[in-house]
Structure 1
């Protein structure tokens, strides 16, 4: 399955990981039930799933207001991505 994954343009051009590097592998690990590996490769995978669920609810269920939850989960996901990226840069 890895031969079908998209390459990171940032890594290809500059030799550095981008904040989204590991997303595809993290989702693949989740698909195979390897939850710890998914978190290790891309820590924001779980907050991204929560954000995606609430975004989908916001788009599909117009009777309820999910606007605030979508914003907060997007901010949480962005914060986790940035913190994980800084940690990856410092420790590698």
Structure 2
């Protein structure tokens, strides 16, 4: 696994911390653990699959759908980050 430079330097998780472990859990079939580690894993995987399909088939509204996926992913990532970091910010 690649180490998180942000966590090594500052001692805080970054917005992407947990993605690699979560992806490994998905590959192993442990879907609940994957979601608990990184809640955006499933929407990111769906977006990646759609992006690849869109490159091949050029869907009519593919760009709009990718933008919607990106917005949803950013919201999930930021929300889950602040929920995970809440104990740090309140102390």
Is the TM-score greater than 0.5? yes
| Alignment map for 1:1-92 (pairs within 5 Å) | 5-62=1-58, 64-91=60-87
Cα distance in 1, alignment partners of residues 4 and 71 from structure 2? 23
The total of aligned residue pairs comes to 88
Unaligned runs of 5+ in 2: none
Unaligned runs of 5+ in 1: none
1:60 CA displacement: 1.6
1:58 CA displacement: 1.9
Give the 3 Å change call, closer, same or farther, for CA 73–63 of structure 1 in structure 2.
closer
The structure with the largest helix share of the pair is 2
**Scaled by the length of structure 2, what TM-score is found?**
0.90
Q: CA RMSD in A?
A: 1.2
1:54 CA displacement: 1.4
Cα distance in 1, alignment partners of residues 85 and 57 from structure 2? 40
